[in-house]
Chains A and B, each alone.
Chain A
Amino acid sequence: EADIYQTPRYLVIGTGKKITLECSQTMGHDKMYWYQQDPGMELHLIHYSYGVNSTEKGDLSSESTVSRIRTEHFPLTLESARPSHTSQYLCASSEWSGLTDTQYFGPGTRLTVL
């Protein structure tokens, strides 16, 4: 099982601010993911990475950006936060076992933009 950490856990911020949501994992997983989820709604993949210097956009268009400079670290940045960005952001990482790819989730960051 993976140990995945996300900070901050809760963030309330004003419109127009730049924010970075941190995600770190200690298991050496190559693949990492960011999902966005509104309360009671589906998970939406917004970014993923297959390894260092690899980043891809997910199924849901997002104004956020990501970087992957180190294997263990996959931060997500919003250059100018808006109320429409209010949501829960979930980071995950996965390992390939030879049979399947199992994703493990961090605790999430609940973002509120006023």
Chain B
Amino acid sequence: QKEVEQNSGPLSVPEGAIASLNCTYSDRGSQSFFWYRQYSGKSPELIMFIYSNGDKEDGRFTAQLNKASQYVSLLIRDSQPSDSATYLCAVFQAAGNKLTFGGGTRVLVKP
């Protein structure tokens, strides 16, 4: 079992709709959780991070964390074609001082 799992996609979303991305992790000791966006051929850029159970909103993005169920999700509201990218989930474990990335979910927003 991978430490951080994501559906590779592609997740096809109509323009203006909500894109919902999920990520599960195996280590219950994980403390903080990150979402990065990576355009094709570019480097990952940080969208947001979350470390408390519940929701955290930043513009059109909302991260949701459920530590009991060991999953973190990212919602993209009012999806735009410019949101078409691969979204990487990353999980930080303080015990091992380690950030582990998932394989990423490719999102396609169609006009």
Contact = CB atoms under 8 A, between A and B. Distances in A.
A21 interface: no
Q: How large is the interface on B (under 10, 10 to 19, 20 to 34, 35 or more residues)?
A: 20 to 34
Contacts of B49: 100, 102
Summarize B's interface: helix, strand, loop or mixed.
loop
Interface in B22-72: 31-32, 34, 40-46, 49, 51
A107 B51 contact: no
Interface in A71-114: 88, 90, 94, 99-108, 110
Given A105-B45, A106-B43, A108-B43, A43 B99 contact: no
B92 A43 contact: no
A100 B92 contact: yes
Interface of A: 1, 39, 42-43, 88, 90, 94, 99-108, 110
Given A100-B51, A102-B49, A104-B46, 18 more contacts: A39-B41, A42-B102, A42-B103, A43-B88, A43-B101, A90-B44, A94-B99, A100-B49, A101-B32, A101-B92, A102-B34, A102-B46, A105-B44, A106-B43, A107-B42, A107-B43, A108-B42, A110-B41
